[in-house]
Structure 1
Amino acid sequence: MLNGFKEFILRGNVVELAVAVVVGTAFTALVNALVDSVFNPLIGALFNADDLTNALDVTITLTAGNATLKFGAVIAAIIQFVLVAAVIYFCVVLPLNKLKEMTDRKKAKGLVEEAAAPTELELLAEIRDLLSADGTKRESRH
């Protein structure tokens, strides 16, 4: 039972996923800090408001009571979403696409050598060496 758990944890996909979650969390903090510290104050200055969340509240009186519609909060959330999407696109996606495009151009010109696939003979020699090494380990145990 523990061996199965060990194999599951050491499988490449689980480790890669864990790293992606940690890096994604750190990147989220970076993007939120950029949006909260730079872009939101600029938008607040444009609308002459400290906070859009409470800027456009509309209170409706009904027979059962009052209802407050917070249009400012919805507009602030939409602006926040657009800003986060823009930061991710212009700071991550666009540079990575340009980098990939440059690499593809270099490959097309033959400037970047692609790793040659090992020949069948090389693969068989590697398998032989691995089996030989495994055999010596088993013999030393007995």
Structure 2
Amino acid sequence: MFKGFKEFVLRGNVIELAVAVVIGAAFTAVVNSIVNNLINPLIGVIFQADTLDSAMVVSIPTVTGGVAEVKFGAVLGAIVAFLIVATVVYFAFVLPMNTLKERAEAKRNSGTPDPDAPESELTLLAEIRDLLAEQRERSGTRAE
């Protein structure tokens, strides 16, 4: 019962996911700070409001006599935050990983072996076969 749980928890992808969640939470705090303390005030100045939450607010009277507020500024702030996150993720993670993959693929296609790359199973099996054949020849035994 606990063996299966232990295997699940110790899998590489579970650990990677946990690290990604922690880094994502820290990254979210940084992005929120940038948006709330830098970008929102700058956009708020353009719309003459303290924050984007109070910018571009449209009041709509309701049937019950109250007022519903549509906050376009708050939506704009969320869009700006999303675009900042997407930009940073693309340039900090996606673009470098794609570049590394392209370089590795080009190196593989060029036929130049990578001395740091682990040997494939096929190569290892061929080496074992050759060593066994060499050993048989030295001992004078033949495979039938």
For the aligned pair, the TM-score class normalised by the smaller chain equals 0.5 to 0.7
Distance 1:17 1:10, change over 3 A: same
Structure 1: gaps of 5 or more residues: 124-142
* Contact kept in structure 2, 1:32 and 1:84, CA below 8 Å: no
Q: The residue matched to 2:118 in structure 1 has which SS?
A: coil
Q: Please name the residue that 1:21 is paired with.
A: 21
Separation in 1, partners of 2:23, 2:118: 29
Is 84-93 or 28-37 further displaced after alignment?
Answer: 28-37
Which amino acid in structure 2 is aligned with residue 86 of structure 1?
T
Using CA pairs under 8 Å that are at least 6 residues apart, name the structure with larger relative contact order, 1 or 2. Answer: 1
* Contact kept in structure 2, 1:35 and 1:84, CA below 8 Å: no
**How far is the alpha carbon of 1:39 from its aligned partner?**
4.2
* Contact kept in structure 1, 2:41 and 2:52, CA below 8 Å: no
TM normalised by structure 1 equals 0.62
Q: Please name the residue that 1:3 is paired with.
A: 3
Q: Please name the residue that 1:106 is paired with.
A: 107
* Contact kept in structure 1, 2:57 and 2:70, CA below 8 Å: yes
Q: Please name the residue that 1:55 is paired with.
A: 55
Indicate whether 1:116 and 2:88 are aligned.
no
Separation in 2, partners of 1:108, 1:42: 50
TM normalised by structure 2 equals 0.62
Distance 1:56 1:90, change over 3 A: same
Separation in 2, partners of 1:46, 1:53: 13
**How far is the alpha carbon of 1:44 from its aligned partner?**
4.1
Separation in 2, partners of 1:112, 1:38: 49
**Higher Cα Rg, which structure:** 2
Separation in 2, partners of 1:23, 1:98: 22
Which amino acid in structure 2 is aligned with residue 75 of structure 1?
L
Separation in 1, partners of 2:53, 2:16: 38
Distance 1:96 1:120, change over 3 A: closer
Between Structure 1 and Structure 2, which shows a larger proportion of helix residues? 1
Which amino acid in structure 1 is aligned with residue 125 of structure 2?
E
Q: Please name the residue that 2:92 is paired with.
A: 91
* Contact kept in structure 1, 2:53 and 2:73, CA below 8 Å: yes
Structure 2: gaps of 5 or more residues: 129-144
* Contact kept in structure 1, 2:52 and 2:76, CA below 8 Å: yes
Is 82-91 or 27-36 further displaced after alignment?
Answer: 27-36
CA RMSD of aligned residues (A): 3.1
Separation in 1, partners of 2:28, 2:10: 27
